Structure 1
Amino acid sequence: MTVDESPGDRLLQVLATLANPHRLRVLAALTGERQYVSELARELGVSRPLLQVHLRKLEHAGLVSASMEVSEDGKAMKFYEVVPFEVRLTPQAIAEAATTLSTPVKGTSV
């Protein structure tokens, strides 16, 4: 979470990121093991450019991390892995997060 990001904004970002079946499959494939992009694209049956779009969104939301490595033959390889996280949704957690949203509700004063 960035300094400017409220708990409510963070929750919205994570939920929006997870609200995509492709990104859920990417997270599932990365659970327990890190993989490089080409390997992951083959496993999931998606193109590397499409996979990279989803990985960037997951990384921006703080759900995965990336690292570059150089193989023995000198090829640059970008590896991704899941960052441990937990999202606990309860009515109380949502009510608390809603009070910290940076976007005001229409018709209310700031």
Structure 2
Amino acid sequence: MNTKLNPDDGDQLLAVLNALANPHRLRIIAALQGGGRNYVSQLAREIGISRPLLHLHLQKLEAAGLVSSTMELSSDGKALNYFEVTPFNVPLTPDAIATAAATLTNNPES
């Protein structure tokens, strides 16, 4: 998903906060930010988690728009799924949260 993050969108803000509410996912973002794009097997080795577990976390991050993926063929014909951080800036101020909260689709006040 290559979606531009809109911090005024309450549902999107919840997805971002939910995606970041896990230490593995924070480490994934940090590893990709520090080392640039990387493929799943190498990233799993760097972070120290299994590839299946990494895939689950990457799916959550990608669904929130925080990372993006590209499938590429290596010189030996293997398909490698590369991931990279999608640039984002999500301000967390009381005013920003109030603006986003007003747009929630599951808003009990509407």
The 5 A counterparts of 1:68-107 are: 68-105=71-108
Letter in 1 for 2:42: E
The 5 A counterparts of 1:1-110 are: 7-32=9-34, 33-105=36-108, 108=109, 110=110
Aligned-residue Cα RMSD (Å) equals 1.4
Rg larger for = 1
Aligned-residue identity in percent: 62
Alignment length (residue pairs): 104
2:56 partner SS: helix
Letter in 1 for 2:72: E
2:29 partner SS: helix
Aligned equivalents of 1:17 and 1:75: distance in 2? Answer: 29
Letter in 1 for 2:65: G
* Deviation of the 1:87 alpha carbon: 1.0
Letter in 2 for 1:88: P
Cα deviation, 1:37-70, whole Å, max 9, x if unaligned, reads 0000000110000000000000000000000111
1:57 partner SS: helix
1:88 partner SS: coil
If the length of structure 2 is used for normalisation, what is the TM-score? Answer: 0.89
